[in-house]
Amino acid sequence: MAKLKLPFSVDLPRHAGSRPRIHPSECAAYSIAGRIPKVAFSPRTADEAAKVIDALRQEGASISVRGAGTKQWRPPAPRSIDAVLDMSRCRGLLEHTPADLTVTVAAGTPFADLQSALRAHGQFFPCDPVFAAEATIGGVLASRSGGALRQRYGALRDNVLGMRVCLSDGSTAFTGAKVVKSVAGYDIAKLFVGAFGTLGVIAEVTLKISPLPAREALIVAEFNRADAACDAALQIAVSPLFPLAATLHDARSLRRVRALGAPDGVRWSLLVRCGGTQAAVQRQLDGVRAICGAGDALSMISIDADRVPHAWGDVSELAGGALYPAADYLCLKIGALPSQTPAVIQELAIAFDQPEITAHPAAGLTYAHIPAAETESGLASLESFLQKCAASDWNAEFLSAPPPLQDVLLQPVPLRAPLRLMRRIKAAFDPTGTFDAGRFMAAI
Amino acid sequence: MQKALLERLAGIVGAEHISWSGGDLRNYQYDGSIDRALPEAVVLPDSALEIAAIIRACNEFACPYLARGAGTGLSGGAIPERGGVVISTARLCRILEVDAINRLAVVEPGVVNADISAAVRHAGLQFVPDPSSQAACTIGGNVAENAGGLHCLAYGVTSHHVLGCEIVTTDGDIVWLGGKTLDAPGYDLLGVFVGSEGTLGIASKVAVRLMPVQESTRTLLAVFESIDDASRAVSDTIAAGIVPGALEMMDQRSTQAIEAFVHAGFPTDAAAILIVDVDGLREAVAEQLPAIAAICKRNNARETRVAADEAEREKIWKGRKSAFGAMGRVSANYYVQDGVIPRTQLPQVIAEVEEIGRRYGLLIANVFHAGDGNLHPLISFDEDRPGDVDKAIAAGAEILRACVRRGGSISGEHGIGMEKRDCMNVQFTPADLALMASLKHAFNARGLCNPAKIFPTSRRCGESAHTAASGSLPEAVAAAAGPAF
């Protein structure tokens, strides 16, 4: 990668639509792992973004795409950053016909703004990402930050219908459709969900939205053992109760949620978020109580409906989000078969002294926060845990790492990952390696 | 086809599982669409390793190949337009694993869609995607076409219910995209593989998601004097925050054809009927049924009726599912279109469809997944009447243009294949198509895997072989269709 020289030989302000930031003090706000970019742009539209990308690519610059910057602690850290493309000014609802259950929105729109605009129509985009207060919808998608609501509403990418993307050759393309169902051409939007901006820039998205449940309730079932709680969660998931979500937390992590907390002596709490018509919610609550009761739950508490949204907002942040200061914790996400969640939790407890654990048992996803102090003393326990994951066919992923670690950690690569195809995709979409080359996984 | 390649293929699958004689090949020249083309050989492999060996042999001889399931596709995805080898999944029909507690099953691509649900029903689970052809179509074809069905309004299409695929790449490598665990690290190659119409590789195993069977499912039939009223009832239901399991509409021409065929109990004098499946917990269904009925009444439904028992429910759905077959009885030929519009635009687009039919002098019946805005106009024609085929194709293309003008899509669930490749330009810009071409290149650089599908040729949308005028295409897009053989 050629080094970006200043001043540029092209007239960047003319392309940018907004003033490029080149002063070190302004660029410092965009630093990642201590690396300060040489220039930052904040385009307001997809077309402006495309022009900036085209100009930067011609200069041989590498570009790091950014929404609100909430997930820049993800390893590996970039070796250097030439330019940051800050998409947070590319914002606003572009189309929304409530009865079509679709919305098209600029990618830099804050997730919270999108939800409140939809809520005014009794609707929402059914996911509960981390950093929900600050994150942009583009960043939520690029980082695949779906959350536990997938239990009822499907994975994040299943609710993405279409996308306008800006590519490194300076072009913009639309992929997918703006209707709830389309099989016209390749569904390339799915590739951009979770690509961390390494294939191109998500500029606009069309989403499938859902009506808000008429009623909601939250039940907290307390268990002594993680396996009993996981077992209850799986039984709920195979039942016809269809609650919205279920999450499992150890006592330390749940204490971070002020609205809930965990009473002394309780080790594991299973939270089940119920939703639907009033009668359906009642049935879900009764059904969850019956399953948990038969599964050795110590106690069960229902949270009042009006406290659910607030409490749930905090609960969502326990999966690698805002309730953990990024400088103080290493956050690992482990994917396994749902029935293996207790084994994952057990291995975490063996490998680390004080892991804080949140799991979405029905999805088989576990999130562990390891205090930075534990990893400073050496990486041996982390390495042995990752080996255990590889041997068990579990997928491990670092969501964030404190500064010294972010520089040394690489994303674990599953043995059978189709790397050859992934490298070809990167080469096909971004042949100049303009977008954050090397920051994805396996040096892609 | 070179004899040396045939010998190689026979060595891979065994002489009894390969055919290159005219009579056998004719069974593989068609699918459920209008096009036809003969392959040069058909092979029936029994494993991913055999598929890999077949693909490597085809690569060596630069011979095109494609996979074929039950051949029920509606857009020509399994038609070997450029000849070559058809790889049938007929022998790959084993359900390999059912894991009830983890709600998944691993199956081979030749397993019939309905057989998956049948195999897991005892555990209270089901495989949700239910295309009308589910008694015959295979999971491999469902994956290739990202098949939909009657219940995708609430539960999504095939891609939402596939956890992973073991595929044989066009290099002959065997890899998993996705897997039994969620959120596999790396690019979501599975997301783009499902629905790629067999052009990016061949699935050799599919891990599917299973869902609990709903506790209660009731079916409501609502009868309307106008399509506008029925359409408004659809929009109002969704706007009221109710997402039924299925929400289907049929116009008068369809109900008349169906009644003459299966006697489902549909009134034949009404302009439109709605079939609504309400499912969920018993109490929730009991609350939602009257709410939907009230919305229908408010929109001038002359009658709403809830199926009293499972037998009546089945009768109603049998009527709906036999709509295409019924049209085949009342019309010499019919051409099923498949377009999508925002559901709030239903009345305007239905009026446009009617006007298009009048202009071409063709009767068009409408059966559609109203909840999704997915139209299936059935265009009647007579292939023995000179010019009728061309008129039907041209009318179909006009309907697709109308869908795109309204912000919709040229296919909701049938795919592009050969049938609609020349209409891709209507919906997508050259830059959009170039992005698709680069994706295809990444997976299928030689272009031998199911060539000539999805990407436009030099014809225009709605032109048939003998009305075509030549046009020009951007180079990358033209190349994406694959080499000529």
CA torsion A120→A126→A127→A128, rounded to 10°? 50
Contact (Cβ atoms closer than 8 angstroms) between residue B403 and residue B375? yes
Residue whose pair of structure tokens reads 């951009």 in the numeric block: A192
Q: Do B192 and A190 touch (CB under 8 A)?
A: yes
Q: Which of B416, B435, B454 to probe the A interface (max A CBs under 10 A)?
A: B435
Contacts of B424 in chain A (CB under 8 A): 184-185
- Of residues A171, A172, A421, nearest to B189 (C-beta): A421
| Nearest-angstrom CA–CA distance, B187 and B443 | 13
β-bridge pairing A83-86 and A39-41: parallel
Residue B397 pLDDT: 96
Residue B29 pLDDT: 95
- Of residues B177, B191, B429, nearest to A418 (C-beta): B177
The residue type of B258 is I
Q: Which residues pair with B335 in a beta bridge?
A: B379
Angle, helix B282-298 to helix A278-294, in steps of 10 degrees: 170
Select from B119, B79, B128, B83 the least CA-distant residue to B415.
Answer: B79
| Nearest-angstrom CA–CA distance, B164 and A313 | 31
Q: Do A173 and B434 touch (CB under 8 A)?
A: yes
DSSP notation for B93-148: --EEEEETTTTEEEE-TTSBHHHHHHHHGGGTEE-----TTTTT-BHHHHHHHT--
- Per-residue pLDDT of A24-42, as tens digits, reads 888 999 999 889 999 999 9
Nearest CA in chain B to A231: B101
Contact (Cβ atoms closer than 8 angstroms) between residue B455 and residue B477? yes
Q: Do A418 and B124 touch (CB under 8 A)?
A: no
Nearest CA in chain B to A199: B187
Q: Is residue B13 pLDDT above 50, yes or no?
A: yes
Q: Do B434 and A179 touch (CB under 8 A)?
A: no
Nearest CA in chain A to B281: A280
Nearest CA in chain A to B346: A100
Across B292-318, average pLDDT: 96
Output the six-digit token pair for A228. 């009993």
User: Cβ of A339 under 8 Å from any chain B Cβ?
Assistant: yes
Percent residues over pLDDT 70 in chain A: 95
Q: Enter the pTM of the model.
A: 0.96
DSSP notation for B214-270: PSEEEEEEEEES-HHHHHHHHHHHHHTT---SEEEEEEHHHHHHHHHHH-----SSS
Residue A1 pLDDT: 41
Across A337-355, average pLDDT: 96
- Using pLDDT thresholds of 50, 70 and 90, give the confidence band for residue A294: very high
Select from B147, B187, B140 the least CA-distant residue to A144.
Answer: B187
Cis before A361? omega within 30: no
Q: What CATH number labels A215-317? A: 3.30.70.2190
Query: Domains of chain B by range and CATH?
Result: 3-88 (3.30.43.10), 95-212 (3.30.465.10), 216-316 (3.30.70.3450), 331-405 (3.30.70.2740), 421-480 (no CATH)
Residue A339: DSSP 8-state: G
Which value does ipTM take for this structure? Answer: 0.96
Contact (Cβ atoms closer than 8 angstroms) between residue B425 and residue B454? no
| Nearest-angstrom CA–CA distance, B90 and B87 | 9
Q: Do B185 and A429 touch (CB under 8 A)?
A: no
Contacts of A167 in chain B (CB under 8 A): 435
Q: Do A157 and B373 touch (CB under 8 A)?
A: no
The residue type of A217 is A
For domain A329-403, give its CATH number from 3.40.50.300, 3.30.930.10, 3.30.70.2030, 3.40.50.261: 3.30.70.2030
Across B186-205, average pLDDT: 98
Contacts of A337 in chain B (CB under 8 A): 99, 102, 180-181
Q: Do B182 and A155 touch (CB under 8 A)?
A: yes
Q: Do B156 and A154 touch (CB under 8 A)?
A: yes
Q: Is residue B470 pLDDT above 50, yes or no?
A: no
CA torsion B299→B303→B304→B309, rounded to 10°? -170
Q: Is residue A249 pLDDT above 80, yes or no?
A: yes
Same CATH fold assignment for domains A93-211 and A215-317:
no
Contact (Cβ atoms closer than 8 angstroms) between residue B146 and residue B412? no
Architecture of domain A93-211: 2-Layer Sandwich (3.30)
Where do the domains of chain A lie? 93-211, 215-317, 329-403
